[in-house]
Amino acid sequence: MSILFDSPEVREESGAARKRPRRRTPRGLRTPRTPRTVRRTAVLHWIAVHALAVAAALFFALPFVFVLLTSLMSDQQALTRDLTPDTFNWANYRAVFTTPDFLTWWRNSLLYAGLGTVLTVVSSVPVAYALATFRFRGERLVLMLVVATMMLPPQVLVIPMYLFWTRQLDLSGTLWPLIVPTAFGDAFSIFLLRQFLLTLPRDLLDAARLDGCGEVRVLLRIVLPLAKPGIAAIALFQFFAAWNDYFGPQIYASENPSSWTLSYGLASFKGVHHTEWNLTMAATVLVMAPVILVFFLAQKAFVEGVALSGVKG
């Protein structure tokens, strides 16, 4: 038997078998994966995506958590390295509320942000509807002018506007120089809402006109119900901008403490309580709370309005 397997013919056949080239998978084709491999890949992808999401969430949430925990510490503990309060001092918020003029600042912020948001929406919707629907000579020029005003920083116009509101109309020390201009539209709100209105089906608007609806009725009955996400987006943008505005109240209302807003009043509050970090953080929480609450209540409409505003251009 050993002679048979060691014969030259057998050795020659085995050598030829070893030299025979292996079959390769054609280029561009992949070997099918087993269900176990697919399941393992899906699990690893899920872990990677959620790990990044959790890391990003912690990156943005931890500063707010730190401010909240510091606001509940005592005055002595706030200056230490402790991350959590030994006892929750809710009296810090009572001390902030009893600060002179703090509730007045709160009322002024609500007046400025609320009334400014309403006036911005009311004045921007008709202009955005006209730019998105009507075709007229100079349409592109008007749109370019709207976009150009967005690029103009407010510091450029602050001196002539200040002289106009204070010398001509004698409104220094009030918030009206900041509220009244919102009744004449906002360039960013007009542009964003115009981009959203371009996504509405024109056949629906034409059908309403064929049924006898005028442009005002089409705007009120057809466009406004369909444009709620876009309107919510510009309303939230304007509310956040007015609520956090520091530059405007500093220019027009700094000489009258009864007209200060929370953003400007918080700066003076920090100057008075610069060593009492627990009270400063408590005041900061009270300033941020309305903005965070409004965003969470309207985040669905806000995200939808911003997402759909860039579909057409």
- Per-residue HEC secondary structure of 160-178 comes to HHHHHHHHHCCCCCCCHHH
Which parts of the chain fold into alpha helices (H)?
2-5, 8-19, 35-71, 91-97, 102-133, 139-150, 154-163, 176-179, 187-197, 202-210, 215-218, 224-226, 228-243, 247-252, 262-272, 277-308
pLDDT given at position 4: 44
Alpha carbons 241 and 188: distance in angstroms, whole number: 12
Low-confidence ranges of the chain (pLDDT < 50): 1-5, 10, 16-17, 19, 25, 28-29, 310-313
CA angle 135–141–144, rounded 5-degree value: 115
pLDDT given at position 10: 46
Amino acid at 47: I
Query: Would you tell me how many other CB atoms lie within 10 Å of the CB of residue 155?
Result: 9
Decide if 222 contacts 208 (C-beta within 8 A): yes
What the block records as the tokens of 220 is 């009120």
- Say whether 28 sits in a helix, a strand or coil: coil
